[in-house]
């Protein structure tokens, strides 16, 4: 649980998040007799103004604890969550019709991630931030053409042609040769997961001022989750699809305000990125010389992880008005699951990682599958290999059966279509 940044006090980059553990702990110990009039119920929970203020400053973990105290608290918090996590309101800053954008997400598999998703889940507002879209290579032109129709203007970097279509063509040719067309040399991404990054800007006249909006399209070479799991640290490993929002490390990110450094800190842009989030109030956790800090307890690191598992915080989003089915090649069978839900990985730490900590997974792609998949090393077994070979022999795409096999072989936790 949490709250969208527009429905809460706008905490900015250097804001301190109030420590309210004592409130939640006290509430969880309250016992009420049937004939007893209780101040907490009569004066706080029934008072809309007071309980709204309290809820806004509770972390998702504390809201969950409060939910368990009584039915009234649960009902009020559920209503609060529905109001607060309003993704359409969050996206209105960038798009006049958020539902149209989310329909585009549904058709193309585009994800919102990075600092954008963090702001939505953590009830934060970074005035200087942009909107980060993570796009599959096969759908990049459709997504960027949609942005142009919304009034955004393509702003090429020093390596990109000024014409968008030409820039896309050059990037795809470069990706084939192993070259990369990043926006800046100080970007925070791992080069081998990205085909190209495109920047779009738009000016909005709000009467008393002019706001310059910025949207970045990060096009994945294969799976978009490959890019996201290659981020500099865990606090930005959050994802918003057309129907779900996921926080992969919720206790650390939203309750303890910690972020674990993943991969090499020597990669371009990473020191600056980590310093930025340290300035925003996050404790940066590093594993050096195989020494495990006590703060690592905030990060689940035992066994495989899955999107939507019990260690994720998964927020269902209102899908009213969302239209559009994914685009597939001709005669592709209907796919009922969003490919993001079958992503799996594990957090390698200490002796298991040359960098101290990193997200470990394989990117699996095959000509018998339309999508590329991020899979934990132990997930793809002999049965699945034979299945994919059979798809290839039959000259058909087998994503639906492949995803069903992945889902049936994992613990049944929060599998969402």
Say what the pLDDT of residue 6 is: 32
Lowest mean pLDDT among 43-47, 166-170, 270-274: 43-47
30 Cβ neighbours under 8 A, 6+ residues apart: 38, 40, 69
- In terms of Cβ atoms closer than 10 Å to its own Cβ (0-12, 13-18, 19+), residue 52 is middle
What pLDDT, on the 0 to 100 scale, is given for residue 370?
85
> What percent of the chain lies above the pLDDT cut of 90?
43
3-state secondary structure of 113: strand
Structure tokens, 116: 């954008």
pLDDT digits (tens, 9 = 90+) for 255-264: 999 999 998 7
- pLDDT band of residue 37 (cuts 50, 70, 90) is low
Question: For residue range 89-110, what is the model confidence (pLDDT) as tens digits?
Answer: 999 999 999 999 999 999 888 9
Mean pLDDT along residues 319-326 = 82
pLDDT value at 31 more than 60: no
Contact by Cβ (8 Å): 265, 259:
no
Query: Which of 34, 28, 38, 31 lies closest to 74 in space, CA to CA?
Result: 28
In whole angstroms, what separates CA 139 from the centre of its chain? 19
Contact criterion met (CB below 8 Å) for 17 and 11? yes
What are the CA-CA distances from residue 259 to residues 232, 300, 341, 405 (Å)? 9, 12, 23, 33
Surface-to-core class of residue 173, CB atoms within 10 Å of its CB (0-12 exposed, 13-18 middle, 19+ buried): exposed
Percent of the chain predicted with pLDDT > 70:
80
User: H or E segment at 210?
Assistant: strand 210-220
What mean pLDDT do residues 129-148 have? 94
**Nearest C-alpha neighbor of 384 from the set 371, 370, 396, 366:** 366
Q: Measured between alpha carbons, how far is 52 from 50 in angstroms, rounded to an integer?
A: 5
Report phi then psi at 206, rounded to 5: -100, 25
Predicted pLDDT of residue 314: 94
Band the pLDDT of 2: cuts 50, 70, 90.
very low
Mean pLDDT for the chain?
A: 82
Three state DSSP letters for 3-34: CCHHHCCCECCCCCCCCCHHHHHHHHCCCCCC
Predicted local confidence at residue 325, as pLDDT: 66
Residue-by-residue DSSP string for 155-174: E--TTS-SSHHHHHHHHHHH
| pLDDT tens-place string over residues 198-237 | 999 999 887 778 889 999 999 999 999 999 999 999 999 9
The pLDDT value recorded for residue 49 is 73
Q: Beta partners for 186?
A: none
Residue 153 has a CB neighbour count (10 Å cut-off) of 12
Instruction: Give, for 71, the enclosing helix (H) or strand (E).
Output: helix 71-84
pTM: 0.82
pLDDT at residue 58 in the model: 87
Is the pLDDT reported for residue 181 higher than 50?
Answer: no
pLDDT of residue 300: 83
Cα gap 68→237, rounded to integer Å: 28
pLDDT band at 135 (very low <50, low <70, confident <90, very high): very high
């Amino acid at each position: 649980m949490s709250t969208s940044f527009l429905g809460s006090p706008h905490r900015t980059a250097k804001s301190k998040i109030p420590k309210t553990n004592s409130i939640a702990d006290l509430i969880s110990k309250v016992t009420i007799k049937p004939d007893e009039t209780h101040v907490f119920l009569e004066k706080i929970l029934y008072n809309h103004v007071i309980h709204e203020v309290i809820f806004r400053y509770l972390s998702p973990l504390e809201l969950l604890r409060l939910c368990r105290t009584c039915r009234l608290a649960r009902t009020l918090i559920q209503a609060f969550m529905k109001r607060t996590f309003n993704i359409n309101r969050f996206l209105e800053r960038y798009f006049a019709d958020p539902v149209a954008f989310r329909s585009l997400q549904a058709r193309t598999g585009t994800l919102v991630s990075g600092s954008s998703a963090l702001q939505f889940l953590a009830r934060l507002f970074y005035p200087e931030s942009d909107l980060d879209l993570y796009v599959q290579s096969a759908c990049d032109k459709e997504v960027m053409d949609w942005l142009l129709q919304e009034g955004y203007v393509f702003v090429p970097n020093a390596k990109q042609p000024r014409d968008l279509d030409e820039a896309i063509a050059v990037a795809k040719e470069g990706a084939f040769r192993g070259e990369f067309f990043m926006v800046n040399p100080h970007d925070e991404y791992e080069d081998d997961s990205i085909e190209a990054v495109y920047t779009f800007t738009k000016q909005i006249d709000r009467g008393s001022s002019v706001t310059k909006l910025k949207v970045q399209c990060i096009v994945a070479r294969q799976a978009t989750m490959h890019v996201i799991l290659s981020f500099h640290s865990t606090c930005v490993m959050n994802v918003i699809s057309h129907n779900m929002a996921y926080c992969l490390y919720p206790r650390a990110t939203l309750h303890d305000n910690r972020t674990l450094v993943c991969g090499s800190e020597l990669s371009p842009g990473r020191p600056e990125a980590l310093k930025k989030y340290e300035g925003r109030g996050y404790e940066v956790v590093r594993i050096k010389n195989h020494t495990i800090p006590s703060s690592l307890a905030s990060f689940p690191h035992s066994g495989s992880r899955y999107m939507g598992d019990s260690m994720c915080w998964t927020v269902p989003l209102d899908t009213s008005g969302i239209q559009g089915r994914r685009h597939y090649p001709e005669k592709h069978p209907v796919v009922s699951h969003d490919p993001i839900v079958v992503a799996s990985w594990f957090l390698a730490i200490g002796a298991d990682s040359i960098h101290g900590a990193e997200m470990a997974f394989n990117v699996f792609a095959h000509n018998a599958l339309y999508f590329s998949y991020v899979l934990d090393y132990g997930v793809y077994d002999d049965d699945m290999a034979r299945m994919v070979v059979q798809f290839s022999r039959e000259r058909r795409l087998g994503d639906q059966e492949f995803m069903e096999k992945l889902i049936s072989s994992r613990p049944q936790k929060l599998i969402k279509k």
